[in-house]
Structure 1
Amino acid sequence: MSFVKVIRDFHSGRSRGFGFIEMATPEEATTASSRCRAASARDGRSPSPKRTRRRPRRAGPAGR
């Protein structure tokens, strides 16, 4: 892993139940995704990893 970001609630500071993980290589991401799908969380829920793409940067206010 090269970067991890857990998304937290602004007011309470508690985790919102999802986050982002950046892997160093595509192969590392594929392996981690496969292992994650086979695992289950302590509370019985299964993680559901999804690949994301970076969005292009938007211009300033109102898309200018």
Structure 2
Amino acid sequence: MNAERSESAVPKAAWFKSSYSTGGGGECVEVATMTASVHVRDSKNLTGPELAVDPHAWSSFIGLITGPSA
């Protein structure tokens, strides 16, 4: 896991907002899936830190929070 404050190496077009994010200023998370890592950031702070994790770790995390697929 890595948190970075430097300029993002992730292309602007790669970021997408979570479907759970609302327009009311609440849970605003953006994710960018790259080949070797998945990046997560606060959509209200685009120049702030990004969290970079291994794609397998991200997949496991998503599986834990969403539960088993139907």
**TM-score interval, normalised by the smaller of the two chains:** 0.3 to 0.5
TM-score (norm. length: structure 1): 0.33
Q: Which structure dedicates a bigger proportion of its chain to strand? A: 2
Query: Who wins on radius of gyration, i.e. which is larger?
Result: 1
Which structure exhibits the higher relative contact order, with contacts defined as CA atoms closer than 8 Å and separated by 6 or more residues?
2
TM-score (norm. length: structure 2): 0.31
